[in-house]
Amino acid sequence: MKIKTLQSIQPNLYEEDYYLWIETTLRQIQNHDIENLDWENLAEEIEALGIEQRRKVESYLKQLLIHLLLYCYWESEREYCQRGWKNEIANFRDELEFSCRSKTLYNYILSCVDSVYPKARKQAINKSGLPSDVFPVKCPFTVDEILDDDYFPDV
C-alpha cells in the first residue's frame, strides 16, 4: 500500500476543499513548513490577490468618476440627485483611500485614470441619456480633485 504524503494530497485539497487548503497552507507558513507547501497554487493565489486589488481600485475609481460626471454635467437631475451623488462620491473616495494606503496602489491609480475614464464616461452617457458631447472626452478632473474629500465640481 502506497502512503500519500501531505505534498501529494495538497493539489487535490486545493481543488476539493479550497477553504481547508487555505487553513492548511496558513498553518504550514506559520510553522515554516516550506517542504510541504503547495507552491504552484500558493503562487497563483498570491498573484490573484494582487490582480484583485488592482481590479478593486479600477472599479471604485470608475464608479467615483461616473458620479462626478453625473454631478457635474447632468443638470436636469442635479436638484433631485445631488445629495445621493455626493453620498456615492464620498463612499467611493473612502474605498479608494483604503487602497491609497499602499503607495503602489496609489501609483496604480495615477497610471490608470486615463484608461478608466472612457469607461466611466460611457456609463455616464448611458445612465443619463445625454448626448456624448456633453461629457468631455478627456478626464476633466485631476487625481488630486478625484481623491479630495472636499472637492465637488463647481456647477
Question: Is pLDDT of 3 > 80?
Answer: no
69 near 124, Cβ under 8 Å? Answer: yes
29 near 61, Cβ under 8 Å? Answer: no
Mean pLDDT of the chain: 91
Provide the whole-model pTM.
0.84
Instruction: Tally the residues of the chain.
Output: 155
Q: 1 pLDDT band (50/70/90 cuts)?
A: very low
Count CB-CB contacts under 10 A for residue 46: 10
123 near 66, Cβ under 8 Å? Answer: yes
How much is the CA Rg of the chain, to the nearest whole Å?
A: 22
Per-residue confidence (pLDDT) for residue 143, from 0 to 100: 95
Per-residue confidence (pLDDT) for residue 155, from 0 to 100: 62
Mean local confidence (pLDDT), 89-93: 96
Mean local confidence (pLDDT), 62-73: 97
